[in-house]
């Protein structure tokens, strides 16, 4: 098992990608600290795992107090943290700048950027040397769009955090990498394309844009996260791993 004896703190655990990552990592022997603000979905996910290998904490990733509580609870339950996967995120909306509410811009930045920053600040001091930090960015952290500037800016900013934290954590042997999922077959994508004039055509367009002719699956992202969490990626740091079926080309 590739994560036996490792403790993983995962934010956004109750979401579609979080659930796929949880299932994959738990099957590889990890102790999972599941973090989300959705207590109900979190409880359902935790109930499906062996009780001795799971801790769930309801928390807001943008709150320093909450994330300190998460890190302390993880350490108290399992000891040092080996993997921190900052995955919680919100999508904002598919709108041009003229139509984009300023308070929604603030909300997207609070979760997708401040949440990642606050999480690393709380968890990194409690991580074992030689650990792995993984940040969920997006292909929108590598390209522009006229329709969701807040989300695009937040996902680019995550790359800035990666570059800086890879320098900070490198001397402790801690690797810091980003994952850049493409269009994932998920509730988040459904919510976004529901705002398009012809959602079915948008979905087909996304499939056709990918060189592999399909949407990315949550399990594809979980497999990439497993590589970055495991010792198999021990020489990989400050890297952006694109998992998009060839959408960026």
Ligand X SMILES: NC(=O)c1ccc[n+]([C@@H]2O[C@H](COP(=O)([O-])OP(=O)(O)OC[C@H]3O[C@@H](n4cnc5c(N)ncnc54)[C@H](O)[C@@H]3O)[C@@H](O)[C@H]2O)c1
> Would you tell me which residues interact with ligand X (CB under 6 A)?
11-12, 14-18, 36-38, 60-62, 87-90, 111, 115, 136, 138, 181, 183-184, 186-189
> How many other CB atoms are found less than 10 A from the CB of residue 76?
9
Please tell me which residue in 151, 181, 222, 243 is annotated as part of the active site: 151
Alpha carbons 15 and 99: distance in angstroms, whole number: 27
* Nearest-10 Cα torsion for 109, 87, 92, 192: 160
Smallest gap, in angstroms, from Cβ of residue 111 to ligand X? Answer: 4
Smallest gap, in angstroms, from Cβ of residue 5 to ligand X? Answer: 26
Q: Compare residues 224 and 234 and give the one whose CB is closer to ligand X.
A: 224
Instruction: Based on the residue annotation, tell me whether 151 is a catalytic residue of this protein.
Output: yes
Q: Which ranges of the chain does DSSP label H, i.e. alpha helix?
A: 16-27, 39-47, 64-78, 102-109, 115-123, 149-169, 187-193, 199-209, 218-229
Q: Compare residues 83 and 90 and give the one whose CB is closer to ligand X.
A: 90
Smallest gap, in angstroms, from Cβ of residue 200 to ligand X? Answer: 17
Alpha carbons 113 and 128: distance in angstroms, whole number: 24
Radius of gyration of the chain (CA): 17
Smallest gap, in angstroms, from Cβ of residue 139 to ligand X? Answer: 7
Residue 111: name the closest of 36, 168, 39 by CA: 36
Smallest gap, in angstroms, from Cβ of residue 179 to ligand X? Answer: 8
Encode 113-149: b = buried (16+ Cβ within 10 Å), e = exposed. Answer: bbbbbbbbebbbebbbeebbbbbbbbbbbbeeeebbb
Q: Which residue is nearest to ligand X (CB)?
A: 15
Burial of 198 (0-12, 13-18, 19+ CB in 10 A): exposed
Alpha carbons 122 and 118: distance in angstroms, whole number: 6
Residues marked active site are found at 151
């Amino acid at each position: 098992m590739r994560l036996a004896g490792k403790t993983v703190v995962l934010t956004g655990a109750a979401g579609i990608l979080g659930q796929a990552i949880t299932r994959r990592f738990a099957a590889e022997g990890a102790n999972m600290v599941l973090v989300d603000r959705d207590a109900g979905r979190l409880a359902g996910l935790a109930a499906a795992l062996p009780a001795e290998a799971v801790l769930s904490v309801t928390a807001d990733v943008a709150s320093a107090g909450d994330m300190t509580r998460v890190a302390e609870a993880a350490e108290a339950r399992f000891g040092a943290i080996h993997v921190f996967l900052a995955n919680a995120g919100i999508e904002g909306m598919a709108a041009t700048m003229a139509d984009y509410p300023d308070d929604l811009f603030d909300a997207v930045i609070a979760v997708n950027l401040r949440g990642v920053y606050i999480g690393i600040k709380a968890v990194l001091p409690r991580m074992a040397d030689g650990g792995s930090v993984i940040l969920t960015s997006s292909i929108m952290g590598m390209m522009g769009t006229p329709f969701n500037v807040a989300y695009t800016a937040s996902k680019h900013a995550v790359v800035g955090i990666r570059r800086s934290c890879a320098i900070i954590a490198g001397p402790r042997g801690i690797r810091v990498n980003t994952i850049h999922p493409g269009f994932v077959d998920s509730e988040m994508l459904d919510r976004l394309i529901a705002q398009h004039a012809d959602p079915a055509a948008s979905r087909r367009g996304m499939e056709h844009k990918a060189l592999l002719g399909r949407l990315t699956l949550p399990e594809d992202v979980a497999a990439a996260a497993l590589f970055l969490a495991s010792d198999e990626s021990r020489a990989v740091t400050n890297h952006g791993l694109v998992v998009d079926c060839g959408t960026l080309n």
